[in-house]
Amino acid sequence: MRIRAVVSATLASAGILLAGWQSGAHVAESASAVGTTAGTAGTGTTGTGSAKSGLGSSAGGSSSGSAASGDTSSGTGTSGSGASGSSGSSSGSSSAGGTFTGDSVQTRFGSVQVQISVSGGKITDVKALQLTDEDRRSVQISNRAAPLLRSEVLQAQSANVQTISGATVTSSAYLTSLQAALDAAHL
Amino acid sequence: MNTSTQTAQQPLARRAGAGGNPFAAQHRRRMFRGDLLTVIAWSSVAAAIALWLADGGASGFSTPGGTFTALGIVAGLAGMDLVLLMLLLAARLPIIDGAVGHDRALEFHRKLGKPALYLLLAHGVLLAVGYGMADGLDPVSEAVSLWVQVPDMWLAYISILLFIAVVVTSLVAVRRRFPYEFWYAVHLLTYAAVLTAIPHQFSVGGLFAEGTWQRWYWLAVCIGTGAALAHYRVLEPIVATVRHQLTVSRVVSAGHGVVSIEMTGRHLDELAGSGGRFFIWRFLAPGQWWHPHPFSLSAEPVTFGADGGGRLRITVRNLGRGSAALARLRPGTRVAVEGPYGLFSSASRSRRKVVLIGAGIGITPIRALLENTPFAPGEATVILRGHNQSGLYLGDEILDLCQRRGATLFHLTGRRPRGVSTWLPESESRAGYRLASYAPDLAGSDIYVCGPDAWARNVLDDARQAGVREEQLHYERFDW
């Protein structure tokens, strides 16, 4: 009787583990597919790196006048981060307030970096240049958390907002990067 | 809870004289249930790990830091699953009690304690190392940063401290130094430990993030365990107490330092067949009500009327301070009750014949079992063991029952020999008697043993040496 229990328990457990492992292998494949998309996002980071250096000079006299808010939103709408780099450098002369990029914050699930658009002393948009993307779960968590965080930040007009439950690491990195961007914008 | 015993018993009583083994089918069913529970328990641990594998967790092994993190997550999942299994084993679920018995369930519960704690400690250490390697921090700084920065983690730290406290106070060596009540109070902290452990599992771990099916599985397992505990450890006792309305009717001496407590109540017909099984009693008198006593019935419930009104009896000895106060219980004291629990009943019978062996106060459940378990005349042997004749409690009643039902009765009295481990008195031991000397057909019998721990172990060893299989041995611990 004991033997019967041990044998069937071992078989059942092995079967369950095998089933889990098999479906996990699927996930790993799709995660590597996600990895390549994350790679493209990586090139975005180098773009923002140069934008950041450009920011140093232009940050000083950036806030002036009321923005043609249509301009800013179209600028952030284009997903290529090279565009933000150019808008960052041009912000000094134009009346659009400008875009400011926060530090890239490293977490165990990948790095996070955000960029804000400022107009008339107000945050008009928050864009995530890079989000936690270490694995499929992180991508999923980031995709869920980013829009929520964006709307919270736009409402609160600061980095002082609640973290998203189930995405605490992403949230805190997001808000840290955001704070750096706010500091750069002197907000 | 008792209906299965009841339905099983009536046909058995009729068929018992017909030859063959009337308990074979019941025994097969019970063994099957026990095996099934074993499979479920193992599978639940495998399932906890499979949740993580199905999430692509195995890919974490590609980096050194990821390997520590992966192992840490697996340890946490398995550890939490063991904790939930421990809770279920202690939840007095009828299915577990009926398959392996309350004693055996608590034995498994105890065995899982240390592995569960080691897994949870490993979970903390491995993740501090793994996350630390990913963040470029040493494990201690990483642990501090987790505490400070990640919500719900401070609860998890409290949880692990509580788990350590609970397991340490349950170690045999430590437990002996403190009164039962202290251990019990610390053990209640288990609930706090589990509750403080749960938030970080859902908020910090990505595995159970919102929108995953793993989250639903884990929620179901946690809530199911909580519901089982609430139902069987809180609701059922209240229902039983209200339904049976037990009050102490009489306290009579049954030997030196031993009293029988009789209680009257309602709907006691529902408890038929529970003689020999134990209940948790709380006598609702000043200074007594909070003290739970696990005692077996020393007689079958007696019912007077059609409404099930009747009488229960327990027979107890002055073992601890709490038990001593029982001798002074006043008639009319109300009694809260939980039970019946355990397999010291006909539900665990597997053979035609039966051997009942009791020592000291352990004789009392033997007395109840002798009254209700089915056997044909000549197929039961009763062995009573005591220091002297007056230590064979309820001896007159047992003699009467043996005469009426046709059971063979042995009285074994006297001190045990020095330096020899035996359950027999000195003269019988010298004469070379064994258990088989008293009950020749041990292979065809169920053997029920109740008495002090060391003594009972000697009886069981004697039986095993005579070739009795484990499934035929039924014993009840009653010293805590």
DSSP output for B422-465: -SS-HHHHHTT--HHHH-S-GGGEEEEEES-HHHHHHHHHHHHH
Within 13 A of B422's CA, how many CA atoms are on the CB side? 20
**The pLDDT value given to residue B318:** 74
What CATH number does domain B349-474 carry, 2.40.50.140, 3.40.50.80, 3.40.640.10, 3.30.930.10? 3.40.50.80
Of B51, B56, B131, the CB nearest to A28: B56
**Torsion sign (Cα): A157, A162, A166, A172:** positive
Residue A13 to residue B46, Cβ atoms within 8 A: yes
On chain A, the residues whose CB falls within 8 A of the CB of B39 are 5, 8-9, 12
**Lowest mean per-residue pLDDT among A7-16, A81-90, B96-105, B184-193:** A81-90
Across the interface, whether the CB atoms of B206 and A138 are under 8 A apart is answered yes
Cα dihedral B365, B368, B369, B371, rounded to 10, equals 160
> What is residue B294's predicted lDDT score, i.e. its pLDDT?
87
Residue of A nearest to B56 (CA): A24
Give the distance from residue B188's alpha carbon to the nearest chain A alpha carbon, in angstroms: 29
CB contact under 8 A, B56 and A31: yes
Average pLDDT score over residue span B256-279: 89
pLDDT at residue number A137: 59
Is the predicted pLDDT of residue A140 greater than 80, yes or no?
A: no
The 10s digit of each residue's pLDDT in B366-405 is: 999 999 999 999 999 999 999 888 889 998 999 999 999 9
pLDDT band at residue B83, thresholds of 50, 70 and 90?
very high
So what's the pLDDT on residue A73?
A: 33
Question: Inter-chain contact A144–B207, Cβ cutoff 8 Å?
Answer: no
CB contact (8 A) between residue A13 and residue B45: yes
The label of the residue with tokens 């049954």 reads: B254
CB-side neighbour CA atoms (13 Å) of B79 = 25
In this predicted structure, what is the pLDDT of residue B164? 92
B208 within 8 A of B202, measured Cβ to Cβ:
yes
Of all residues in chain A, what percent carry a pLDDT higher than 70? 58
Residue B416: its pLDDT value, please? 86
Handedness of CA B240, B244, B245, B250 (dihedral sign): negative
Measured in angstroms, the CA of B145 and the nearest CA of chain A are apart by 12
Average pLDDT, chain B: 87
CB A102 within 8 A of CB A115: yes
Q: Residue B182 is which amino acid?
A: F
Contact between chains at B39 and A20 (C-beta distance less than 8 A)? no
Give a three-class secondary structure readout of B191-254.
HHHHHHHHHHHHHCCHHHCCCCHHHHHHHHHHHHHHHHHHHHHHHHHHHHHHHHCEEEEEEEEC
Q: Which residue has the higher pLDDT, B279 or A94?
A: B279
Which pLDDT value is given to residue A62?
A: 35
As a whole-number percent, the residues of chain B with pLDDT over 90 amount to: 55
Q: What tens digit of pLDDT does each residue of B327-339 get?
A: 888 899 999 999 8
Count of CA atoms in the C-beta half-sphere (13 A) of A183: 8
Mean pLDDT value across residues B25-32: 92
Segment among A72-86, A98-112, A173-187 with least mean pLDDT: A72-86
Amino acid in the structure at residue B297: L
Q: How far is A159 from chain B (nearest CA, A)?
A: 15
Instruction: Give the tens place of pLDDT for each residue, B321-366.
Output: 666 678 888 899 999 999 899 899 999 999 999 999 999 889 999 9
Instruction: Give the closest-approach CA distance of B234 to chain A in angstroms.
Output: 32
CATH class of B245-341: mainly beta
Q: Tell me the pLDDT of chain A averaged across its residues.
A: 67
pLDDT tier at B320, thresholds 50, 70, 90: low
Average pLDDT value for residue range B59-83: 90
Largest CA distance in chain A: 85
- When pLDDT is averaged across residues B443-461 and rounded to a whole number, the result is 92
Quote the minimal CA–CA distance from B57 to chain A in Å: 7
Contact by Cβ (8 Å): B37, B99: yes
ipTM attached to this prediction: 0.79
Pairing of strands B445-450, B353-359: parallel
Q: Is the dihedral of CA A144, A148, A151, A157 positive or negative?
A: negative
With bands split at pLDDT 50, 70 and 90, how would you rate the model's confidence at A136?
A: low
Identify all chain B residues contacting A13, using CB atoms and an 8 Å cutoff: 42-43, 45-46
B209: nearest CB among A10, A17, A166:
A166
Higher pLDDT, A183 or B321: A183
Task: Give the closest residue to B203 by CA, choosing from B181, B191, B219, B189.
Answer: B219
Q: Are A71 and A96 in contact, with CB atoms under 8 Å apart?
A: yes
Picking from A20, A107, A144, the nearest residue to B53 by CB comes out as A20
The yes-or-no verdict on residue A44 having pLDDT over 80 is no
pLDDT band at B171 (very low <50, low <70, confident <90, very high): confident
Cβ count within 10 A of residue A162: 12
Query: What residues of A are in the B interface, CB distance below 8 Å?
Result: 1, 4-6, 8-10, 12-14, 16-17, 19-21, 23-28, 31, 106-109, 135-138, 140-141, 144, 163, 165-169, 172
Closest residue on chain B to A163 (Cα): B151
User: Given CB atoms, is B132 within the 8 Å cutoff of chain A?
Assistant: no
More confident residue, B136 or B183: B183
Least confident window among A120-129, A130-139, B277-286: A130-139
How close A32 gets to chain B, by Cα (Å)? 10
Residue A57: its pLDDT value, please? 33
Residue B403 identity:
Q
pLDDT at B266 over 80: yes
pLDDT at A63 over 50: no
**B84 pLDDT exceeds 90?**
yes
Q: Is this structure's pTM higher than 0.90?
A: no
Residue A90 has pLDDT above 60, yes or no: no
SS3 B335: strand
* Statement: residue A83 has pLDDT above 70: no
Structure tokens at B419: 């330096």
Quick check: B167 pLDDT over 80?
Answer: yes
